[in-house]
Every structure is written in C-alpha cells, then in structure tokens.
C-alpha cells in the first residue's frame, strides 16, 4: 500500500467514525472511489467514501442515482467541489477529512469540529479523535469497551435526531 493511500484511509476512517458514510447504520468496511481510478481518481479524502458492503454494491449497480447523490463523480468533475449525500445530509468533503454543510460550517456528522479534541468522560477521558485513531469504534466481541466508545461517539456525532432516525441502534 502506498503512503498516500494509507494516509487517505486513516483520514477517511476518522471522518466516518467507522460507520458507512452512505447509510450510517452499519460499520464501513470498504473504500469507494467517487471518481474511479481509471478516470484519474486519486486516494484523497474528498474522493473516498467509507462504505458497508451493501451500500458499495448499490452504488456500483445504480450509477445514475449515484451521480445524482454525489456517491460517484464524473471524470471531468473534482470530488472536492461536488456535494455528496452523507447519511442523509448534502455536504462537501475536504482534503483534511472535514465535512462541511451547505453554509460551510465544518462538522463531523453533526459533531462540531472543536468537539473532536475535547476529552469526554464517557470515553474514559479520551477525545473522540483519540478513540477513532486507536480503533475503538470497530465491532469486536472480545473488546466490550469498544461498543461503549462507539455509542458515545454516535451520540456526540449525531445526537438524538440521528438515534431517532435509525431506531436508536
């Protein structure tokens, strides 16, 4: 794996909080190029989405809807300039792993950027960024603490509105 790919994967996993960036309901396990590599699509955070298997397959099988929603980007377009439907919100992705809403406010899900670096008691005093970087948001039956971290991160990132939307997973 090349250095740019590895760096990009790290940024995108942190941006996604480990969850599918299309549906937000299951862990992201695959990286999707919005602009295909065959069309000069690069390993940059605005060009990559962290997806679950089902959403990745759906995007591949439904190209027109994928272009309309920004999950795929045409060869002449720049992914950084193209909005994407990210867990139900139309946003723009930047090269640093930030998500900007239509007013340009930088968010992580609905988590303001400044919250990413504030220690949280529900995360054993770690910051959300530290939890993500240490891999605590992945499912693992032998690491029960990870589920607690995941739930706190979800609450911080998406709040009650998100929990209501997906049935309080």
CA atoms of 150 and 120, how far apart (whole Å): 13
- The percent of residues above 70 in pLDDT, for the chain, comes to 63
CB atoms within 10 A of CB 87: 21
- The percent of residues above 90 in pLDDT, for the chain, comes to 41
Per-residue model confidence as pLDDT tens digits over 66-109: 999 999 999 999 999 999 998 888 889 988 887 877 666 655 54
Contact 52, 20 (CB under 8 A): yes
Contact 138, 145 (CB under 8 A): no
pLDDT of 25: 84
Residues in the chain, pLDDT under 50: 109-110, 137-145, 160-169
As a whole number, the mean pLDDT across the chain is 77
């Amino acid at each position: 794996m090349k250095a740019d790919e590895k760096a990009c994967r790290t940024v995108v996993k942190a941006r996604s909080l480990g969850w599918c960036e299309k549906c937000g309901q299951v862990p992201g396990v695959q990286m999707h190029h919005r602009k295909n590599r065959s069309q000069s699509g690069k390993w940059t955070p605005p060009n990559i989405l962290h997806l679950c298997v089902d959403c990745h397959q759906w995007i591949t099988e439904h190209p027109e809807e994928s272009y309309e929603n920004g999950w795929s980007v045409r060869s002449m377009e720049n992914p950084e300039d193209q909005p994407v439907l990210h867990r139900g919100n139309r946003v723009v992705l930047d090269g640093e792993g930030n998500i900007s809403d239509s007013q340009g406010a930088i968010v992580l899900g609905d988590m303001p950027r400044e919250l990413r670096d504030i220690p949280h008691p529900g995360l054993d005093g770690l910051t959300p960024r530290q939890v993500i970087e240490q891999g605590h948001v992945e499912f693992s039956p032998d690491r029960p603490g990870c589920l607690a971290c995941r739930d706190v991160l979800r609450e911080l990132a998406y709040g009650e509105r998100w929990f209501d939307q997906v049935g309080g997973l």
